[in-house]
Structure 1
Amino acid sequence: MIVKHLPPAARQVVEAVAVQNGVCVRPIPLKKIDLTTGKVENVDVPCGATLASKCPSCATRNRQLRMVQCREGWHVEHEPVTVQDEPNARQRGLVQQRADLQAARDRAARDGAPTGDLDAVIADVDREIRAAGVRGVVLPDAKPKRSRSTRRRQDAPDLPKRPRERRTVGRVYSTPDGAAYRPSLFVTLTLPSYGKVRPDGTPVDPDAYDYVRAARDALHFSKLVDRFVQNVRRVAGYDVQYFASVEPQRRLAPHLHMAVRGMLPRAEVRAVVAATYHQVWWPPVGEPRFEGENLPEWCDGVGYVDPTSGEVLRTWDEALDDLGDEPLHVLRFGPQMNVQSVLAGTKDADTCIGYIGKYLTKSIAECHTPATDAQRRHVRRLADALRYEPCSPACANWLRYGVQPKNAKPGMRPGGCRSKAHKSEHLGYAGRRVLVSRKWSGKTLGEHRHDRRAWVLEALGLTDEHADPGRYAWRPVPAGDPDLLPLAHRLLKEISRRQQWRTALRLAEARASGQPVQDLSAIGKAA
């Protein structure tokens, strides 16, 4: 094969330099309108991507913020203070609108009128309420919640329960010489084996490898983690806080790195892991009832029907009413785990934080890119198992097994579910990559970002022009705006600005430390 080398394109060089200087390569242009002076200018806002495949600069910045967030909350000595904000005018207005819509829907229901349009509007308002920063549910569903027995499984050991203490920080331990220390935990949890694998993660016997169980465990892994946290808090006796990240092993099964505030004996943590399980109470998915071209058809007013007999398929609620005494699937953690005690400010703490943030700039599938034919076949087999596995009550794959998905609508087709759980880059895990408890550091990620910006501005001796958010209005830049420069020009402008800031920051740090600054250009080169 003859390889012909071509010089890099100018756009490619500009983007490479932008990444080198931490500049977003996919900036979002917005019009910034000063409501006081009337001044209008175009401003590039970073895209905020979390994956390096989309924007390396923003992904790296997000990873650094996450690691700072992890470090600040892990070994805190005082209870993080969380203050609940008072409802603002927009939130109150949306809730009032929600109340009016609910009253209109109740009237329509009493009169026997259709409520579908009102339900759609109510759902939109509910989304706006959540986007406005309101936690929880404004109006719970009037339909009674389906519940099952909370008795523990016979094959799961019982867990002790300690009286609850109103604290989130760990205990302080003392040594005979009077030294005090406050250790915390770093826990790594994995899923059980689905068959023997080689060092590269591929099965020794692919035909015997349990891909179905691997797919179901990946789909419901986040629920198993929730159960683990609940059990840890029950055994510990206080409101345990955690910071965790999910990433795949080489065999493609998700596993968890978790920083836990406070200390528990290793034996108790292992007992909690052994006693933790999650049951999936869903209709059975054995032999498919519909496949190929023989698929259920949509009929207005009744939902999906059998194309041959015209029989209406069971609804989701009807299918749940027919469940037996055994769940569809039971998840458990595997025997391989790691539990270690970590002290603040040590090398071990930095190493653990590095583990947590190691793959945050990559998608699940990019963490271990298949390099051999065996690895690629392993990925394809898992993807095949995930294709028709239901991922949620609303998944279109339920039609394959003769059940109408929850909130069924026209156009649904088995194997065509758009949930990210079925996409190859997620390998079945559709949950969040970073899991943070509410009282971890007392700050949101946005507040950590604001702290970082405030530190830079203070070091440079600058004022924050956006300190008064009500002063500015932001609008999208319309297509064809004559004031919008080409992307390459905007990137070059931002690169120059970033280099100036970095030089000024290095100069400010040198002056603050009392070091003589003799050559400003040398600082610029070092930046």
Structure 2
Amino acid sequence: MSAAIMPEVTAEMARELAVEQKVCVRPLLRRVIDQQTGDETRVALPCGSTRESVCPSCADKARRLRIQQCAEGWHRDVEPEIDTPEPSEDPAADDLDAETGAGDLDESDARRVRSTRRRQDAAELPRVPVEDRTVGRVFETPDGRRYRPSMFVTITLPSYGKVKANGAPVDPSSYNYRRAALDALHFPKLVDRFWQNLRRCAGFKVQYFAAVEPQKRLAPHLHAAARGAIPRQTIRQVVRATYAQVWWPHFDQPVYVDRVPVWDGHDYVDPDSGVVLPTWDQAVADLDQDGRAAHVLRLGSQVDMAGIIAPSEDADRAIRYLTKYLAKSIADTYVDNDAAVVDLDYESHVDRLHQELLYLPCSERCANWLRFGVQPKNAGPGLRPGACVSKAHDRENLGIGGRRVLVSRQWSGKTLKEHRADRATVVREALLNSGIVAPEIERLAASVRLPDGRPRFVWSDSKVDHAGYVWTILQSVNERARWREQYEAAKKRQAVDTVSAIDHETADRPPPGADREGDHRVASPITSPNVVPGPWVKGERSESEGHEVPLTRGPGTRQSQVGEATPGNGTEGDHDG
């Protein structure tokens, strides 16, 4: 790329090219000095954002990595090997239904004991012996075919009022925005309780890969891939019986609206009388005398369930649907940015819910407690109601400030970092097997040392101006095109080398996509195990996205094109009551 052409390429043109070629649009430019040779190298690191509005390319890579993580653990037939125990309650606590929430620990870290008795208005939970296994049962048909099905489950929150087709309430004045906001803030507690109860009632340690997404009405709901077959009646019982209680000081009525407490150097005090506000521990101690939870969450009556057998088109479709909206923010999930007319009714609904969330406490350390006359836990100077730093209060998150993807510890036996490394390793092996030399794993790594113990490569930040940004994008695009060409050549050569290794039985099967009509349980022929997608890993090459990706693994795996997801049976639609 000559210097004469560079000024003709604008930053916007470079960004559009980067999006089209799946290259990071906001790379972090670093200067690396080799202290052994004195050479200087400029390295563009991907930003790693998981939001499509920030960087579509990095968000797409993150989504594809989650697709692979979901596929690898869903239909396992052997127990995953892990070094750490399951991060759940101890065995004794597994037999209890203790309701403990934020603020249950005092300054001495002594656990505040609460009653383990279930609420009188809650349905009873069935109790069965729990087997020490995480894989599902195997079922056999009369003709000798064996299956190990798993589940796709969707759970929702209850209704807060009637809504229109666009998700906005029919009558905003009667819509329960306060309850909707509180349920969104504490939805993770309810989800945890659901999985705890399901494990007790299913008879084995249910493992899951779940995504938290909004419905059109902006209430969060959960799509989950659960390993193993669970009776539908059991799931319905667990949904009816699951609840979560928030044991916080009551915050029904605000105390400070037009004025705010002030910091006197040690505590927050009333701005007029100078009286010290109750501390968090004092407010929680008063709660013990009240005996009522500040908020109770329950699941909605609508629940969708589908049995899934892999490998199948249904399994591939369910995984894509499960990860469809991971790259979008909560508020923008159903917003059409290319629409000529803005849906003012829907935007007003978003603003109203955000306004409710802005002043509700999100945790025991939230600054909004000052609005209700209570000092937050570990309070310090500078706190102001409506200015909590938690992401849960942001308009784009609408109460869901934590993780959007929830994965149980024994899902695949690997961390997300290990999944990323596996994918990069497969790509490197494919290149090496085809005679293409892949870059060294530790090239320019800060961990490489000189004989005297000093780091060989010294990294420092480098500012990017307009010309530097365009140059960086174009270099990244060129490098990606070269890597893609090499990887495609490696895949073709590998496919030729493996033709002779296919047995006659497999070769006689119908080609991919030729399954019996209406029967997605028929397996297609096994494909190359090395055709696995992978993201960039700090300068290492990976295959380009958009190629065929085996989502469901095992004998008879059928390759599927990763594209826009479509809901599978029993998984679509909002349930707003």
- Structure 1 position 480, deviation (Å): 5.9
Residue from 299, 310, 317 that aligns with 2:274 = 310
Does residue 466 (structure 1) correspond to residue 449 (structure 2)? The answer is no
The equivalent residue for 1:95 is none
Structure with higher helix content: 1
Which aligned pairs between 1:366-445 and structure 2 lie closer than 5 A? Answer: 366-369=332-335, 371-445=342-416
The equivalent residue for 2:72 is 72
The equivalent residue for 1:61 is 61
The equivalent residue for 1:98 is none
Does residue 477 (structure 1) correspond to residue 452 (structure 2)? The answer is no
The equivalent residue for 2:563 is none
Q: 1:220 to 1:24 in 2, by over 3 A?
A: same
The equivalent residue for 1:328 is 294
- Structure 1 position 438, deviation (Å): 0.9
Equivalent-residue separation in structure 2 for 1:141 and 1:83 (angstroms)? 32
Q: 1:481 to 1:59 in 2, by over 3 A?
A: closer
- Structure 1 position 82, deviation (Å): 1.6
- Structure 1 position 245, deviation (Å): 0.5
Q: 1:219·1:421 contact (CA, 8 Å) conserved in 2?
A: yes
Equivalent-residue separation in structure 2 for 1:215 and 1:38 (angstroms)? 57
Equivalent-residue separation in structure 2 for 1:152 and 1:255 (angstroms)? 24
Task: Report the 3-state secondary structure (helix = DSSP H, G, I; strand = E; otherwise coil) of the residue aligned with 2:213.
Answer: strand
Equivalent-residue separation in structure 1 for 2:132 and 2:26 (angstroms)? 46
Q: CA RMSD in A?
A: 2.5
- Structure 1 position 180, deviation (Å): 0.8
TM-score of the pair, normalised by structure 1: 0.82
Residue from 110, 123, 126 that aligns with 1:144 = 110
Equivalent-residue separation in structure 1 for 2:213 and 2:325 (angstroms)? 7
Task: Report the 3-state secondary structure (helix = DSSP H, G, I; strand = E; otherwise coil) of the residue aligned with 1:486.
Answer: helix
Does residue 23 (structure 1) correspond to residue 23 (structure 2)? The answer is yes
- Structure 1 position 36, deviation (Å): 6.9
Equivalent-residue separation in structure 1 for 2:39 and 2:82 (angstroms)? 37
1:105-152 CA-to-partner distances (Å, cap 9, x unmatched) read xxxxxxxxxxxxxxxxxxxxxxxxxxxxxxxxxxx9743122211111
- Structure 1 position 237, deviation (Å): 2.5
TM-score of the pair, normalised by structure 2: 0.75
Does residue 10 (structure 1) correspond to residue 7 (structure 2)? The answer is no
1:333-374 CA-to-partner distances (Å, cap 9, x unmatched) read 101110111011111111211111111111111102284121
Q: 2:190·2:242 contact (CA, 8 Å) conserved in 1?
A: yes
Task: Report the 3-state secondary structure (helix = DSSP H, G, I; strand = E; otherwise coil) of the residue aligned with 1:43.
Answer: strand
Q: 1:30·1:475 contact (CA, 8 Å) conserved in 2?
A: no
The code of the aligned residue for 2:12 comes to Q
Equivalent-residue separation in structure 2 for 1:222 and 1:400 (angstroms)? 24
Q: 1:480 to 1:436 in 2, by over 3 A?
A: closer
The equivalent residue for 2:481 is 499
Which aligned pairs between 1:75-114 and structure 2 lie closer than 5 A? Answer: 75-83=75-83
The equivalent residue for 2:247 is 281
Equivalent-residue separation in structure 2 for 1:210 and 1:267 (angstroms)? 30
Task: Report the 3-state secondary structure (helix = DSSP H, G, I; strand = E; otherwise coil) of the residue aligned with 1:224.
Answer: helix
Equivalent-residue separation in structure 2 for 1:481 and 1:55 (angstroms)? 17
Does residue 299 (structure 1) correspond to residue 238 (structure 2)? The answer is no
Structure 2 unmatched ranges of 5 or more: 1-7, 86-105, 337-341, 450-454, 498-543, 548-577
The equivalent residue for 1:452 is 423
Equivalent-residue separation in structure 2 for 1:296 and 1:358 (angstroms)? 44
Instruction: Name whichever of 189-198 and 413-422 sits farther off.
Output: 413-422
The equivalent residue for 1:261 is 227
The code of the aligned residue for 1:75 comes to H
Instruction: Name whichever of 497-506 and 464-473 sits farther off.
Output: 464-473
- Structure 1 position 171, deviation (Å): 0.9
- Structure 1 position 162, deviation (Å): 2.2
- Structure 1 position 467, deviation (Å): 5.0
Q: 1:34·1:471 contact (CA, 8 Å) conserved in 2?
A: no
Instruction: Name whichever of 489-498 and 209-218 sits farther off.
Output: 489-498
Task: Report the 3-state secondary structure (helix = DSSP H, G, I; strand = E; otherwise coil) of the residue aligned with 2:18.
Answer: helix
Q: 2:32·2:460 contact (CA, 8 Å) conserved in 1?
A: no
- Structure 1 position 479, deviation (Å): 4.5
- Structure 1 position 163, deviation (Å): 2.2
Sequence identity, in percent?
A: 51
Equivalent-residue separation in structure 2 for 1:18 and 1:384 (angstroms)? 36
The code of the aligned residue for 2:83 comes to V
Q: 2:31·2:461 contact (CA, 8 Å) conserved in 1?
A: no
Q: 2:33·2:459 contact (CA, 8 Å) conserved in 1?
A: no
Task: Report the 3-state secondary structure (helix = DSSP H, G, I; strand = E; otherwise coil) of the residue aligned with 1:322.
Answer: helix
Equivalent-residue separation in structure 1 for 2:38 and 2:112 (angstroms)? 56
Residue from 162, 171, 180 that aligns with 2:128 = 162
Residue from 193, 196, 217 that aligns with 1:227 = 193
- Structure 1 position 309, deviation (Å): 1.7
- Structure 1 position 37, deviation (Å): 6.2
Q: 2:30·2:462 contact (CA, 8 Å) conserved in 1?
A: no
The equivalent residue for 1:486 is 468
The code of the aligned residue for 1:231 comes to N
Task: Report the 3-state secondary structure (helix = DSSP H, G, I; strand = E; otherwise coil) of the residue aligned with 1:513.
Answer: helix
1:437-482 CA-to-partner distances (Å, cap 9, x unmatched) read 1111111111111122112222222345125864265654345699
Structure 1 unmatched ranges of 5 or more: 1-7, 86-139, 516-523
Equivalent-residue separation in structure 2 for 1:257 and 1:191 (angstroms)? 12
The code of the aligned residue for 2:397 comes to H
Q: 1:381 to 1:322 in 2, by over 3 A?
A: same
The equivalent residue for 2:41 is 41
